[in-house]
Chains A and B, each alone.
Chain A
């Protein structure tokens, strides 16, 4: 955001301002690409494209491909969102852009 507090940083558009923004955004995009790759591999890869070969393996009564399609992929989605939220908490803190109230507590 460009309307920052007085004296806290160089004016928007300056080189220093641009460089932390680029770095922050680059890291955010990297997290996204990695997590979305896992999203794709588990659901479309294991649950659809490879479902038939994986079904040859049976665990606790479940053919493995069938299990990924009807159970495993959903647990994976949930984990991916949690991991992203935690990673972004850290990234926001590192770059000093996390949302805090007057006393520095998380909003």
Chain B
């Protein structure tokens, strides 16, 4: 066993022990604890849990690498995956917390009709499932690279741990474990980033200092056949960057596993501040990622430029074994680098490996490499657990006890929630071991689907009393149909032929237009049909004010 493997094992086993310990301490006995942690999570802890839930294997493992090779256009991921929190904090979180039940489909069911609830539950399951398979896969890759386990074994180990704490503690166990996982993943991200920033600039604050290497990076990139790093719109036209950013933002604010996290706070006020803390914790990683991308790419390009194949740095050999780094046959000296195998460059580096390989590329010691592996695992597992909870609550709470068995005791509901969770874990393992071919691509499109379905229905439900069930159902259906049609039209993953993009709009960006279509259809149909009944207008009224009004005399003395 190499020292890297030993350290990885120590960090991963150590972090797993902590997760299991937390799970045992926060096991639950009633349904409210299982689904929304009894509405009792403190604000800052909830923020950390949201951050861990939100930042997936993709954020931790892939994003900096994507940005490194996209350069300036990588901004669409940075802004898209953070800007949605402004929408959540201002338009959604406080109101859904005031309404105060368990699931997102349940809200649209109460606000519109049972039909809309069923459509929403189906959409929540599909979106969460495509997303969770990617997480299982991410965890499996970490295991296979660092511990030499095969991917199946890796997925099984990760799933067994998640199963333990998710089934035992439900949302409560998941939330407290996620607080621990956030701590692990952010330390694992920041330490190597600070170390690399220190190597280049002698200041360990990557956010501030990566500006100093941009000139050099631009020059080196052009020399090795890549676009200048800070040049905008090299990979996509402006309209597409705009729409992808918007689709990711709106999709973030519409993803069920994110929205339910605001149900767990103690108060409406707590949900507003939870959004702040969540974004603060996320921003710590998201402002570091572009620096990691820039530094690692510079390191990589300097390490290989003009080198003979026989004296390339060691990491090239290590990662070539996984097939994620390739040297073109017959090449003797590296004159060009790319992340796209089709480009035919001398050295092809898969952008997914950049974060995991960055400590090796920078020549950092083995314990740090082990720490990064544990961080990648934490990111994958925390997101998977949050998604599994959405799947289990949609199946048991929104389908089974709504459609099949309406009267049930609290114990029975809790048991059903646990069984559904167990079932979801088993399906996720099958998907992770043997992913359907389209999954990798579809994960990115989960955002488009969430943007085109949930976001408009929820926002209209809160801000426009006149919106009725027919309008919401029509909006969701047409918005989804429009978005899916364009995705099928432009991609070859569903067994159809890929057609060229219309107006330069990529399938990742179409969700923004799908959301607009949803809004327009919902408004027009609502206007053409009868207004919703009076008790629904009262429901909308009631969620707009955090608490019953007290006498004016009572408030003066305590105004802050």
Which A residues form the contact surface with B (CB < 8 A)? 1-5, 8-9, 20-21, 24-25, 28, 32, 35-36, 39, 43-44, 47-49, 51-52, 55, 59-63, 65-67, 69-71, 73-75, 77-78, 80-82, 84-85, 88-90, 92-100, 104, 106-107
CB-based contact B560/A88 at 8 Å:
no
**3 tightest CB-CB pairs across the interface, nearest first?**
A61-B211, A69-B75, A62-B211
* Given contact pairs A4-B549, A43-B245, A48-B238, A84 touches B90 in the complex (Cβ within 8 A): yes
Chain A residue numbers with a CB within 8 Å of B555 are: 93-96, 98
Determine if B86 and A66 form an interchain contact, defined as CB atoms under 8 angstroms apart: no
Q: Which of A21, A36, A61, A99 contacts B268 (CB 8 A)?
A: A99
Complexed CA–CA distance, A20 and B545 (Å): 11
Assuming the contacts A35-B86, A70-B78, A93-B558, asked whether A63 and B269 have C-beta atoms less than 8 A apart, the reply is no
Segment from B190-198, B272-280, B309-317 that makes contact with A: B272-280
Q: Say how far B37's CB is from chain A's closest CB, in angstroms.
A: 16
Hey, which chain B residues are within 8 Å of A65, CB to CB?
232
CB-CB under 8 A from A49, the residues of chain B are 238, 242
- For the complex formed, measure the closest distance between the CB of B425 and the CB atoms of chain A, giving whole angstroms: 34
Q: B276 touches which one: A51, A60, A70, A85 (CB < 8 A)?
A: A85
A29 — nearest CB in chain B belongs to which residue?
Answer: B463
A75 adjacent to B283 (CB under 8 Å): yes
Q: Is B430 an interface position by the 8 A CB rule? A: no
A24 to B67, CA, bound (A): 43
Total of A-B residue pairs, C-beta within 8 Å: 183
Which residues of the other chain, A, contact B321 by a CB distance below 8 angstroms? none
State A25–B546 Cα separation when bound (angstroms).
Answer: 12
Q: Closest Cβ of chain B: how far from A36's Cβ, in Å?
A: 7
Q: Inside 8 A of A80's CB, which chain B residues have their CB?
A: 86
Given that A43-B83, A70-B78, A93-B555 are contacting pairs, would A85 and B541 also be in contact in the complex, using a CB cutoff of 8 Å?
no
Q: Indicate if B54 sits at the interface (CB-CB under 8 A).
A: no
CB distance from B273 to the nearest CB of A (A): 5
For B211, B215, B267, B268, the residue with the greatest tally of chain A CB atoms inside 10 Å of its CB is: B211
Establish whether residues A78 and B75, one from each chain, have CB atoms under 8 Å apart when the complex forms.
Answer: no
Contact of B89 (CB < 8 Å), options: A55, A70, A81, A94: A81
Give every chain B residue within 8 A of A3 (Cβ-Cβ): 548
Residues from chain B with a CB closer than 8 A to the CB of A95 are: 545, 549, 555
Please tell me if the beta carbons of A98 and B541 are within 8 angstroms of each other in the complex: no
Contact, CB under 8 Å: B549 / A20: yes
Chain B residues packing against A (C-beta within 8 Å) = 67, 72, 74-75, 78-79, 82-83, 85-86, 89-91, 94, 207-208, 210-215, 230, 232-233, 238, 241-242, 245-246, 266-270, 272-273, 275-276, 279-280, 283, 286-287, 290, 538, 541-542, 544-552, 554-555, 558-560
Closest CB in chain B relative to A56 CB, distance in Å: 11
* 30 A–B contacts from the bound complex (CB under 8 Å): A4-B548, A36-B86, A39-B86, A43-B83, A48-B238, A49-B242, A51-B232, A55-B230, A61-B215, A66-B232, A69-B78, A70-B75, A73-B79, A74-B287, A77-B83, A77-B85, A78-B280, A81-B86, A81-B275, A90-B560, A93-B558, A93-B560, A96-B549, A96-B555, A98-B546, A98-B547, A100-B558, A104-B558, A107-B269, A107-B270
Chain B residues with Cβ below 8 Å from A71 are 207, 287, 290
Q: Cα distance A1–B214 when bound, in Å?
A: 54
Q: Are B549 and A9 in contact (CB under 8 A)?
A: yes
Residues in A neighbouring B560, C-beta threshold 8 A = 89-90, 93
Q: Known A-B contacts: A77-B283, A99-B267. Give 20 more (CB < 8 A).
A: A24-B544, A24-B545, A48-B241, A60-B212, A61-B211, A69-B75, A71-B290, A77-B82, A77-B85, A78-B283, A81-B279, A85-B272, A85-B276, A95-B545, A95-B555, A98-B269, A99-B546, A99-B547, A106-B267, A106-B269
A2 to B550, alpha carbons, bound, how many Å? 12
* A99 with B269: CB separation less than 8 A: yes
Pick from B269, B283, B290: contact of A89, CB under 8 Å? B269
Closest to B98 in A: A1
Residues of A within 8 A of B546 (CB): 92, 97-99
Q: In the complex, what residues of A have CB within 8 A of residue B214's CB?
A: 61-63, 66
Q: Is A8 a contact of B548 with CB atoms below 8 Å?
A: yes
Contact B86 A97 (CB under 8 A): no
Q: Which of A1, A63, A74, A90 has a CB less than 8 Å from the CB of B545?
A: A1
Q: Which residues of B contact A44 (CB under 8 A)?
A: 242, 245-246
User: Which residues of chain A come closer than 8 Å to B559, judged between CB atoms?
Assistant: 90, 93-94
Kindly state the separation between the CA atoms of A17 and B559 in the bound complex, as whole angstroms: 21
Which A residues are in CB contact (< 8 Å) with B551?
A: 8-9, 96
Bound complex: CA of A21 vs CA of B541, how far in Å? Answer: 9
Q: Which residue of B lies closest to A61 (CB)?
A: B211
Contact of A69 among B72, B542, B550 (CB under 8 A): B72
Within the assembled complex, what's the spacing in Å between the Cα atoms of A99 and B89?
18
Query: Roughly how many angstroms separate A8 CA and B546 CA in the complex, as a whole number?
Result: 16
Q: Which residues of A contact B268 (CB under 8 A)?
A: 99
Chain A residues near B230 (CB, 8 Å)? Answer: 55, 63, 66
Q: Shortest Cβ distance from B538 into chain A, in angstroms? A: 6
Q: Within the complex, what minimum Cβ distance (angstroms) separates B400 from chain A?
A: 31
Chain A hits for B238, CB < 8 A? 48-49
**A59 and B230 alpha carbons, distance in the complex (Å):** 13
Chain A residue numbers with a CB within 8 Å of B276 are 78, 81-82, 85
Nearest-neighbour CB distance to chain B for A84, whole angstroms, equals 6
Question: Which B residues touch A47, using CB under 8 A?
Answer: 75, 79
- State whether A77 and B549 are in contact (beta carbons under 8 Å apart), knowing that A43-B83, A90-B560, A93-B555 are contacts in the complex: no
Please give, as numbers and ranges, the residues of chain B lying within 8 Å of A77 by CB-CB distance. Answer: 82-83, 85-86, 279, 283
